[in-house]
Amino acid sequence: MKQLLTDYNIEELNQLFADQPKFRAKQIFKWLHSYTDFADMSDIPQSFREELAQNYTAIPIKIVKMLSSKKDNTKKFLYQLYDGNIVEGVLMEYKYGSTICISTQIGCRMGCAFCASGIGGLVRNLSAGEILGQVLAVNSYMGGTVTNRKVTNIVLMGSGEPLDNYLNVTKFLSLVSDPDGINISQRNISLSTCGLAQNIIKLADEGYKIILTISLHSAIDEVRKRLMPISNKYKVEDIVNAAKYYFNKTGRRVIYEYAMINGENMDNDAIEALARITRGYSCHVNLIMLNYVKEKGLNPCTREQAKSFENELIKRNVSVTIRRSMGSDIEGACGQLRRKFME
Ligand code: SAH
């Protein structure tokens, strides 16, 4: 298999092309971030383009299917990787810009009770260049280039647990925010994790400035253990401490995600526990309407139940909103579309 050039930063490209003029690495980096194959890199000498094409891959990922929601402006993409594997992603267009939801792994090994991505376990990690490729492919699909950017925001909320693929994900963060490339500011990037507390601390220590989103789903250890096996390793308290640490280091408010599951995490104890752990520091709770996954058998709540859950939290001074649900007609939930496609 040929090496994927979107895995490389400018410094690494410089080393790779040591016998080329100094500006070559930057030129190629820009083309790669415009999702351009070697043949179309018009300011690169023809002979060198051919040499590159023989040894490397420029296009990391291809869009093989696109579904458009009839209800809102959401689009769902299926991408194919060099080895035939399929990953999925979502594009949400708002007034202020376009947000792309990207995947970091094929499958996932976290095994959360409500999530479709983990059903088949982890297949493999995505490389930094493959994660980046999702952004580049969709940006190009929208008519964007490296200088005329169409994708403005990124959320790492697709398939996979980003902090379980730490090195590739952090390299991706550096690549995608590089001023010489597609240059999406880390302020416009959210990373969602099921709560790998140790790596949250590492992320803060290494100076990343992204928005941290933690999938909490319960502030009570016993309940959370039923829903998320990772709770056997990190307690709610560990996660809260990591969140506070992240806030203190980065100044960025932490967001907790909480999928409301009927009969599981919505009783009075759940409300009190959530109010308790969100007190005294800057954080926000995003309530999510559960997407029904047929293999999982967990049930969503009604709009009224969600509203009342939200109100109880507001009464306890929790900063909270119910997240707008989009793309419900195009298998918007994690991993659902890929599963359907594979079947
Ligand atoms: N592994 C990461 C990111 C991927 S999941 C994480 O756990 O955060 C992205 C978000 O979708 C998470 O908050 C996850 O808990 C949520 N999610 C997964 N399945 C869902 C479902 N069936 N309904 C609603 N939200 C779901």
25's tokens: 């690495």
Would you report the helix, strand and coil content of the chain in percent, each value rounded to 5? 40, 20, 40
Q: Is residue 194 lining ligand 1, measured as CB closer than 6 Å?
A: yes
- CA 119–ligand 1 middle distance (angstroms): 13
Q: Is residue 285 lining ligand 1, measured as CB closer than 6 Å?
A: no
Q: Is 334 part of the annotated catalytic residue set?
A: yes
Digit-coded pLDDT (tens) for 121-141 = 999 999 999 999 999 999 999
Nearest CA to ligand 1 atom 12: 215
- CA 72–ligand 1 middle distance (angstroms): 21
- CA 282–ligand 1 middle distance (angstroms): 22
Tokens 């047929």 locate to 294
- Burial (0-12, 13-18, 19+ Cβ within 10 Å), 147: exposed
Q: Is residue 333 lining ligand 1, measured as CB closer than 6 Å?
A: yes
Mean pLDDT of all residues in 243-253: 96
pLDDT above 80 (res 231): yes
Confidence of residue 341 (pLDDT cuts 50, 70, 90): low
- CA 283–ligand 1 middle distance (angstroms): 19
- Pick the closest to residue 189 from 104, 127, 250, 99 (CA basis): 99
The model's pTM: 0.95
Q: How many residues does the chain have?
A: 343
Q: Is residue 331 lining ligand 1, measured as CB closer than 6 Å?
A: no
Tokens 């200088």 locate to 147
Q: Return the pLDDT at 333.
A: 55
Nearest CA to ligand 1 atom 4: 157
Q: What is the mean pLDDT of the chain?
A: 94
Q: Is residue 228 lining ligand 1, measured as CB closer than 6 Å?
A: no
Q: Return the pLDDT at 83.
A: 94
CA distance 251 to 249: 6
Confidence of residue 342 (pLDDT cuts 50, 70, 90): low
- CA 190–ligand 1 middle distance (angstroms): 13
The residue ranking higher by pLDDT, 332 or 167, is 167
Q: Return the pLDDT at 188.
A: 97
Q: Is residue 115 lining ligand 1, measured as CB closer than 6 Å?
A: yes
Q: Give phi and psi for 126, each to the nearest 5.
A: -90, 145
- Pick the closest to residue 223 from 283, 255, 194, 266 (CA basis): 266
Active-site annotation holder among 108, 194, 301, 334: 334
CA distance 170 to 209: 11
Q: Is residue 215 lining ligand 1, measured as CB closer than 6 Å?
A: yes
pLDDT above 60 (res 334): no
Around Cβ 96, how many Cβ atoms within 10 Å? 8
Q: What are the structural domains of the chain?
A: 3-57 (1.10.150.530), 61-342 (3.20.20.70)
pLDDT above 60 (res 343): no
Q: Is 343 part of the annotated catalytic residue set?
A: no
Confidence of residue 48 (pLDDT cuts 50, 70, 90): very high
CA distance 238 to 224: 13
